[in-house]
Chains A and B, each alone.
Chain A
Amino acid sequence: MKTNYLLTGLTAAALIFASCEADDTAEIVINNTDNSVTNNNGGSTPEEPSTGEAIDLEGTKTSDLTLDINNTYTLTGPLVMAPNTKLTIPAGMTIKAASGANVYIAISQDAVIDAQGTATRPIVLTSASTSPAAGDWGGLILLGRAPINSTAGGSATSTSEIGGLPYGGSDVSDFSGVIRYVRVEYSGGAADGQSENNGFSFYGVGNGTTVDHIQAFEGKDDGVEFFGGTVNASYVSVVNAQDDSVDWTEGYSGTLSNVYIKHGVSHDKAIEADGFNTDIGNNSNPLYFSAPTVNNLLIIGQGNTTDTEAVRLRAGTQGEFNNVIIQGYEEAFDLDGDSGDSPTGQGVVDGLLFVDTVNFEDISVKMKNDTGFTFTENDFITNEGDATGTDYDTWKAGWTVE
């Protein structure tokens, strides 16, 4: 009971009643005498000797920021590039992030990232922890002005799951910069009870942006997620994402080429695809749904056991999958929808959602139709057995981990 109860008139009544209830709660004492073991902030643990300075990165930057390869950068909080700024990260740089979902890099609408690594000198964004684990920090977030179907279009924006930053618009070819040979590790921390970071989050990013050779490794949530937008990405690797490896929603319509997905023990779907954001509805006018193209896809599961599922297509998503190999799941494609606002089955019937050239290896159910529409497996899947997937061994060399 707090002492300021004494200010009040009927204190006695409250005290009498409250004292009826037991409180046998123990004290907590934190004995933290051994800092060197648990200190995960890197400051006292010299690793690669560097000639440059040790610099903490966080806050909203209103002018260009160019990182110097000679310096050691630690991401200690949200680093947000404000509109009309540019973040340049040189090849070969590793940025370590302190623990916390509120530790992320965000490129706002009208800001630009220039992160061009090479196969031998990738850019790595990772956890600063000495025993890193999925979800240690946020991730990399790009926000652009390409269309999303969560709003009525025009200049209307939505706000991102992380950080509440605006995204969406009407510029199909919006430019958010160049990302090449970039690996994000141990990201995906929950920012609140419902909002989780991903490895790479593309919010309304336009197809003027270049994205190739990216890897999300050991993420707590999704590996790569597209919230609307038109951006294309190629050579995408997602390894051990605990939620969905690739996720799209809000009317995403880019092209993904050469995608490699490998599930770890803890996982959800390899691809979870929504036609629109079912939390707020499809508000586009005229109405449209996500409809990306996925070329050369290899999905490797943990084996054909109960309740495992590779690709979930729902909420009216459309799209084409060309040259796909799926290994080790009970179900390969699970289609969900209804005859109303989530007409996923309509997409199949209309030839707007299909799989062309596919191999199923260690799969029990190739297609499960929960859309409320009637169609056959052959309406959805053609040319089974001729697929080559993607030649991951060739393009993974040097810059990825597993």
Chain B
Amino acid sequence: MRQFYLLLIGIIFSTSVWAQGTGSVVGVLSDKEVNNEPLPFATVQIKNTTKGTTTDFDGLYEIANVEAGTYTLVFSFVGYETVEIPNVVVEAGKVTTVNTGLGATAAALDEVVITTTVSRESEVALLLEQKKAVSIQQSIGADELARKGVSDAAAAIAKISGVSKQSGGTGNVYVRGLGDRYLNTTYNGLTLPSNDIEKKNMDLDLFPSDIIQNVAVSKAYSTKFYGDFAASNIDVISKDYKGKGFLDIQLGSSINSRAIGKNFVRSEGTGYFGFYNRYDNNPFAVILSHPVDPVNGGEPININGSISGGKSFEMGEGGRLSLFATASFANDYEYRRGSAADFTTVEKQVYDDVEEFEYSTTTTAMLNAIYSLSSGHKITFNSLFLNSSSDEVGNFGIDGNGRNRDAILNTDKGFFTKNIQFNQDMIFVNQLSGLHTFDDKLELTWGVGYNKVFSNQPDRKRFALENYDRALDNDPDTNPSFYNNTNFDNQRYFQSIEDEELNSRLNLEYTVSDNFKLNFGYNGRSKERFFKNIRYGYDLIEPNTPVTDINNLDSVFNVPNLGSVYDTFVFRSIAPELGIDNRNFPGLDENKYTGNLDIHAGYVNAEITTGKWLFVPGFRVESFNQSISYDVINLPPDASGYAESYENFYLPSLNVRYALNDDSNLRFSFSKTVSFPEFKEVAPFVYEDVTKRVGGNPDLLNDPAVSDVYNLDLKYEWFFGKSELLSIAGFAKEIRNPVNLVIANDATGTRRYFRTGEKANVYGIEVEVRKNLVQDANDNAVVSAGVNGTYMHTKQDLRSSNGLFSSTLDRDDELQGASPFLINADISYSPTSFENYRPVANLVYSYFADRIDALGSGQLGNIVEKGYGTLDFVWRNEIGENWEVNASAKNLLDPDIEYVREGTSFGDYTTSIYRRGINAGISVKYKF
């Protein structure tokens, strides 16, 4: 079909050139690095003439007005093998079609023509995109992901300069020191929901690399992004497939050095695949029907498997349907042993010996269907389902030496906490998008997405014991007893969040001339969150009720004992007027809130090329409406239960590129953006963790409801060889009225969100180098290395706030989450001398320096996450056409993951330390 299309073009041109006795050469250039997909922006020249052109976005080229004769065509592209095709005969009034492919390796003439759009899996292609991009952006594609053994999107973008990922499976990503609240995540250009009450962004750990074609991190703002932008927009592009058909099956297994051999436990009622089936029941029915003790968690051997397939069909006249589907399952056993403490200026709760078992699963399924017409129209449907679960059992104080300064019987030892917690997040994303080109001038792209998230924490169980040392003394006559200061020290807790979002994008690109392009667009999103929780406290009726077997709490909390050994309590009784009070009856939801966010935005930008300059001025107008209505316990009685803000933002931006020469660019970017509060930051609900309490603050929606952000970027980039790059960037940001999480002035020390000062500033430089160290005879990299580093200086002024809540701050400090220094490095060895065996070995290293995890207020110092380095080794082996055998050893350094409270009168106090263990695994993939 493409050939037919080309032919038409050819005929049109040939009629116009007939009179001059010339012909033309047309064709499509394909990218052998990327399944022979079109290669844009490559140079095509007729040797020994001045005639030439570059391929367009679809790899198409045409050289018109060529005098009849025999020529040699030269195809070249940065980083690719140059191909010369001799004996190309051009006849007057005729069109000669020359289709070939370019690749990083020596080319053979190849005339395969494939109707596709660009693909962005290849590292080289992504570098090209980065080079051509109108704004500052970095991507990592499927190839690089596979090579570096990256298993998910969070790990993927952590390979990009200035990006780091927080330890401990939180999925927290920091870009230039700015964390979750300053990032946006999109999926195929449409908003992605968050799976976690604590987050604005999806946990990118949940995106296995099977789904990812590439992940693009845009650190400079452009008008197509939502105005809520301070650090970056992360766009995950889903994989698609346009070839003749394929089917891959992969199976793998791994073990963790610290988990292996442990007797794993997990929650009762949850499944091996990470699902839970009691959501439809009233929580009170659940606690009466089901026991509390954890159950056997199985052998700690991780398995993973995936199946992917694709096929492409011709459909009707000039139509093509391309299908790609993938499904995967992976689980992970982790055992953490270390210490945990809540230390303010004194030891509040200290557990010198903590063990945590975590069993987590990720299940994904993705379907991508593309219907394209050769007339320049394309409709894509994408449906994504993710289920992630985490099943944690934590025993705090197993050495009998746990301390709680508010313990009743003994404050010096024997305090013990058991926490059994299951979290399940189910995410459904459905997107329909389209691309339509109308003649050469107009291109319309659009998309609508519907997202739904169910994030549940069903039946978390928490128990507190005193005198636990007496369980360890082998004397059956001395036993620990329940700590029962309040009715809720022993409890079961249920929380559910439901998010629903409809969002859309529309962009019309109008090419006025080769040097002038205009974009007009619209973005809209409408999001709603429902939150509710309830908890049942177990109040032991007798003081100091003994615990004879910590592993058999079911013998205490069973139905016959209800009302005789223990009572249950809720905060809100269901019908006190009927005598159904808060004791031994089901209750009403403890806390509820509903958040709404509506955004509508229109924008315009221009791409103006003059000589070596590219200017992209843009302007976006965004209307923002956010509201929260809440009904939560223990608030001032006159708290309104509602907060709302409506504002319009006017956001100018300018991106400039100056091409110093063919291989290097200078870029400049300036923009004004905003940052607005998240639902969790404004809803005054307080989440009570084992050692900390975090709540929102509706005052954030008062004037000012948003932070204005000013962004400035300057970057030099030099693409000096095949897959080689040097870039140096400087950046500066100013965030007005920033929001921070700090300990509020209240009698229980709850952490809340406040606008803590006038402004925060970030300045930094980033350097990135990718270089081939050893090349074979054909200039292919045998040994290559990449390193990127970021140095940052951050500063914010911190001042006290007063409102519904208050905080005490008076100092300047660094930004929370900002490491002054980050580095990512990798070295790759890929010998090319074997016939049917293509191994690639990679060593990947990342390091971040100490960073603030939580700001201290008043007399309290900051909680700091200590810096550490990680080292992964990945060894891929492609054997023949069908087999791939991969081995990996990750977290080889197994560093201490440590958090400290700084500035105590005893120096730094370690509040948490543990190691995650080395993961060694092997997997086999078969391609049919």
Binding site for B on A (CB under 8 A): 1-2, 4-5, 7-11, 13-14, 17-28, 30, 32, 35, 37-41, 58-60, 77-78, 80, 82, 98-102, 129, 135, 150-152, 156-166, 189-196, 203, 220-221, 227, 243, 250, 265-268, 277-283, 307, 312, 314-315, 336, 338-342, 370
Contact = CB atoms under 8 A, between A and B. Distances in A.
Interface in B448-506: 450, 452, 454, 467, 485-488, 491
A193 B539 CA distance: 12
B7 to A, nearest CB: 38
B346 A338 contact: yes
B288 A26 contact: yes
Given A157-B802, A280-B858, A7 B452 contact: yes
B429 to A, nearest CB: 8
Given A17-B387, A279-B348, A342-B346, A191 B633 contact: yes
Given A14-B385, A99-B573, A77 B806 contact: no
Interface stretch (B113-121, B159-167, B305-313, B743-751): B743-751
Contacts of B806: 151, 156-159, 166
A265 B544 CA distance: 10
Nearest to B363: A17
Given A23-B280, A30-B580, A278-B348, A161 B746 contact: yes
Contacts of B753: none
A336 B348 CA distance: 12
A58 B290 CA distance: 39
A283 B860 CA distance: 9
Contact of B582 (A27, A99, A341): A99
Contacts of A22: 269, 277
A163 B634 CA distance: 5
B543 interface: yes
Interface of B: 269-271, 273-278, 280-282, 284-286, 288-290, 327, 344-346, 348, 363, 365-367, 381, 383-385, 387, 405, 408-412, 426, 428, 430, 450, 452, 454, 467, 485-488, 491, 535, 537, 543, 569, 571-573, 576-582, 585-586, 633-639, 686, 688, 693, 743-749, 800, 802, 804-806, 808, 810, 857-860, 904-906
Smallest CB-CB A-B distances: 8 pairs:
A340-B905, A279-B749, A9-B383, A281-B859, A38-B579, A10-B385, A161-B747, A158-B745
23 contacts: A9-B385, A21-B270, A23-B281, A41-B577, A77-B637, A99-B581, A135-B487, A150-B808, A151-B745, A151-B858, A152-B810, A158-B746, A159-B745, A159-B805, A192-B688, A193-B488, A193-B535, A194-B688, A195-B747, A221-B486, A250-B747, A266-B543, A315-B346
A24 to B, nearest CB: 7
A23 B277 contact: yes
Contacts of B857: 280-281
Contact of A190 (B274, B488, B804): B488
B658 to A, nearest CB: 45
B571 A101 contact: yes
Contact of A192 (B345, B686, B745): B686
A165 B485 CA distance: 24
B571 A25 contact: no
Contacts of A280: 344, 743-746, 749, 808, 857-860
A78 B506 CA distance: 51
B254 to A, nearest CB: 22
Contacts of A37: 579
Nearest to A158: B745
B748 A279 contact: yes
Nearest to B861: A281
Contact of B858 (A7, A20, A23, A281): A281
B571 A192 contact: yes
B426 to A, nearest CB: 6
Contact of A28 (B288, B409, B745): B288
A277 B346 contact: no
A264 B535 CA distance: 28
B638 A32 contact: no
A190 B487 contact: yes
Nearest to A27: B285
A165 B860 CA distance: 23
Task: Please indicate which of the listed interface residues B327, B488, B579, B857 has the most CB atoms of chain A within 10 Å of its own CB.
Answer: B579
A227 to B, nearest CB: 6
A258 to B, nearest CB: 27
Contacts of A28: 282, 284-285, 288, 586
Nearest to B348: A278
Contacts of A342: 345-346
Contact of B634 (A60, A192, A277): A192
